[in-house]
Structure formats: C-alpha cells, structure tokens
Structure 1
C-alpha cells in the first residue's frame, strides 16, 4: 500500500501551483510540443486498455459494424464540434488521447455508468486541467468531452459532488460499513457491490479506482487496511485498485513536470520578447539622437 498512501490529490495539486497560464497554442514550438507529448501508453494504462490510437480506432470500428456504435473518429469529431477554440498543447494532448481511451471504456458491452466512476473521472479531469487559463473554458471543455461520449456532464458533476459531500461526513468505520446503513449513497454502493459480485454487469475501470481513493481521502481514512476492507465490501479486486492508483499518481507527476517545462519555456520567450523590445527602444533612441545631431550640424 505504499503506493496508495503516498498519493494525495491535494499534495499533487499544490506542486502544480508553480505554473504559468497559457493563452494560446502559438507559443508552443513544434519541437517543444513533441517534448511535452505524453506517450499514448501512459493514458492507455490509466484507462485500463493497451492499444495505440490507431489500433484503438480499428477495434472500435469493428465493434460499430456489428452493433452500430460510434467510432473513435466520430467521438473526437463530436468533441471538436462542441468546443471549437484552440486548447494549449500540454492540455490538448492529454485530453485527445484520454478521450480515445475513455471511448473504449464507454462502449464496452459490460459498461454501466455509476457515481463512483463519475467521481473518479471528475477528479482526474480537474487535476489534469488545474491551472488552465480560463475556469469558464475548462468547464465548457468538460461538458463537450462528456457529451461527445453521449453522456450527461451535469450528472457527472452532480454525482461527484454528492459523493464528496457524503464522504466528508464519514469516518473509516462508517465508510466500510455502508451495507448496514440506509441512505442515497449507501444504496449506490450496495448496488455496485451487488453488480460487482455477480461478475456480469459491473465493468471495473481505473476511474472507479480513483473514485474509491477520493472517498477515502475525503473521509480521512487513509490507512491501508481501510482500502482493503472497502474493496472487499464492494467485491472489487484490491490489487487492481493498488496498481491503478499508482498509474494515476505517475500520470499526475508527469503532468506536473510537463507544466513546469511549459512555464520555463513561456518565461524564456517572455524574456526574449522583453529583450527585443528594449533593444528596439535603444535603437530608436540612438536613431533619434543621431538625427538631432545631424540636424544641428546642418
């Protein structure tokens, strides 16, 4: 459990505070963009599948032939239609690749939306998009992303908020003892446990793992044994949860590093522009002095 106990969403968020807002994708040179690009495999790991973007497209297209499901290309096109503004490169790269992987999760045969999954995704999204230049655009992008997957962004936000508020009022004992109590969130967890125990209508994902950990964090129940007991109560494999939380922690660490590189790049470009502006002012002053001197000599 060392990997799980070392992961703190708030701590990672604090380390990402040393960032520089980016107003346009134009500040990114092509070589710099490539240097910041996340490997698709990292995001495949987060989504729980292993496939390249092109490979994923072939798989989903094959599914759509049989079941008339949308293709990856259609999902991405729906996102681009819903949000037409440019997205800074470091954010756009992650969003586009993550959308491909979530498309694969969304259209699996055993996929069924649940609020813990929603809490996990909302947590991932908010961490990935922390420091985005516009809070308003960040929420509009969120809505476009979820709608591109033919789901309801308001439901995601509402369910995530509901679980967060519930978890804040819990402790370790009440969290793992949800099956003995009545309530809206308790009923949600009972339903998950029943479906996961039946091995049929529950599709585990790494967003679900992040959602579980978020519940633990908000309830201040971070002891390793608590996660183990909660997984057992929900009929979820704890080894999978441990592994997936470690993947998510690594992804956030890489994102923080990328944002730091971005900040350094933007600062360098800003300094160069300032130096060029100062040099131009100096040249103009010299030109003006020379002109005045020549006028005196005449």
Structure 2
C-alpha cells in the first residue's frame, strides 16, 4: 500500500535527510507527488518502461547527487529500488541498436521477449494509465533513436504503440522546461563557483601580500637595529 502524499515526502526526507539545493528540490518534490498519485490510481500497473522513465528523469535531475538519493525516492513510493534499476538496465540494453521502426513494431512481436510483450500489453489496454514516468520513458526512447518529439513523431508513436498523444505531448513540454531550468541552474552554479574561486584567490593574494609586507617590514626593522648596534659599537671604540 502506497503511503499518503505527505507520508511519501516524510519517508523520502527520512531516508535522505541531507539538504538538497532548492533548484533541484522543487522538481524532485513535484515528481514524487505526481508519481504518488499515479501509484494510488487503480489503473496503475508497474512495468519496465515506467522504471526506465523514472530513472531517466531522476538521473537527469540528480546527476551530481549520490545514488542513495534516487533509491530513497523510489523506496518512499513503496517501490523496490533494485527492481527499478534493473528494469532501467534491461530497457537500455533492449534499445541498443534499435531504430524507430523496431520500437514501433514491438507490439506486433510480443513473442520476441519480455519488453515486446510489455509494449503489446500497453497497446491492448484501452484503459492504459499514462504516468509521467512512462511518458518520459517513451520520450527518452525517441531521443535515443534520433526522433524529435514533434507532432508527426507523436502521431506515429501514438498510433503504433496505442498511446494518447496529448499525454505524451504534455510531458514533452514539461521535459523541455526541466532541461531549460536545469541548464540555467547549472550555469548559475557555475557562475557562483567562478565567483567563489575568484574571491578565494583574492583572499590568498591579499594574505600573501600582507605576509610579504610584514616580512619586508621585519627585515627593515632588523637592518635598522643592526645599523644602530654597529653605530653604537663604533662610537664606543672611538
């Protein structure tokens, strides 16, 4: 049984209590909430494409974070991290060497393997629940075979795979927005890192200059002291 939405977030935060940068926390929270709503829908049925899409978006969002954060998000949804990860690998291997035509023909070749059967089941299910994860999985596949997610491509995929175009189209827009926001965020972070490095360099330069001035001052004082001592000695001899 999937926890209520607030419980899902609490489970995630308990499993991964470390702070997450705000610009990433917002899409992560949104993804968890949307996925939670899919999981409690009676039409939901987990399949490898869902797992593949889930890992696709979280790998994109959390590239710079440890794997245990993604595992925490999966477990918070009462799913098995090992299953989701293994399904991602299985789909990725299945896609190797595939063309768009191969993918679109998959429902017609159900006997050729587990994933072909998954495609066949989706096409045969008139009440197939379009989840964001699965939609993103299909969009990731389009990327891999070099298809732009435009109207014509979505028409072909929707017809061949039994999908609803408007659902895929909606998440295609979302994916574009996420990529743009991430690009902006990474650029901002890069600018902050450059600024911080410059600040540290300026501090080091200032400290080095102060140390040099202090050393030069000490050397000057020592020279003056020696001159005074030598002058006093000469006077005593005279």
Which bracket does the TM-score occupy, shorter chain normalised? 0.7 to 0.9
Counterpart residue number, 1:213: 139
Compared with structure 1, are the counterparts of its residues 83 and 220 closer, same or farther at alpha carbon in structure 2 (3 Å cutoff)? same
* Residue-by-residue CA offset, 1:150-199 (whole Å, 9 max, x unaligned): 1011211221222222223333333222232122111111111222x1x2
1:267-292 C-alpha deviation (Å, 9 max, x unpaired): 10111111012101211221222233
Say which of 204, 208, 218 aligns to 1:291.
218
**Which residue pairs with 1:234 in the alignment?**
161
Whether 1:184 aligns to 2:114 is yes
Counterparts of 2:5 and 2:149 in 1: how far apart (Å)? 40
* SS of alignment partner, residue 46 of structure 2: coil
Q: Matched residue of 1:287: which SS?
A: helix
Which among 164, 177, 183 is matched to residue 256 of structure 1?
A: 183
- The structure 1 segments of at least 4 consecutive aligned residues displaced by more than 6 Å after TM superposition are none
Choose which of 175, 190, 209 in structure 1 pairs with 2:103. Answer: 175
- Distance 1:94-1:240 versus aligned 2 partners, 3 A rule: closer
Summarize the alignment of residues 93-108 of structure 1 with structure 2, pairs less than 5 Å apart: 93-108=26-41
Q: Which residue of 2 aligns with 1:76?
A: 9
How high is the TM-score relative to the length of structure 2?
0.82
Q: How high is the TM-score relative to the length of structure 1?
A: 0.67
Rounded Cα–Cα distance in structure 1 between residues aligned with 2:70 and 2:5: 18
* 1:145 corresponds to 2:78: no
Tell me how far apart the structure 2 counterparts of residues 109 and 223 of structure 1 sit (CA, whole Å): 29
Corresponding residue pairs, total:
222
Structure of greater Rg: 2
Structure holding more helix per residue: 2
Aligned-residue offset at 1:102: 2.6
Q: Looking at both structures, which has the greater relative contact order when contacts are Cα pairs under 8 Å and sequence separation is at least 6? A: 1
In structure 1, the gaps of 5 or more residues are: 1-67
- On the 8 A contact 1:119/1:160 being kept in 2, the answer is yes
CA distance in structure 2 between the partners assigned to 1:296 and 1:217 by the alignment: 74
Gaps of 5+ in 2: 226-238
Partner of 1:90: 23
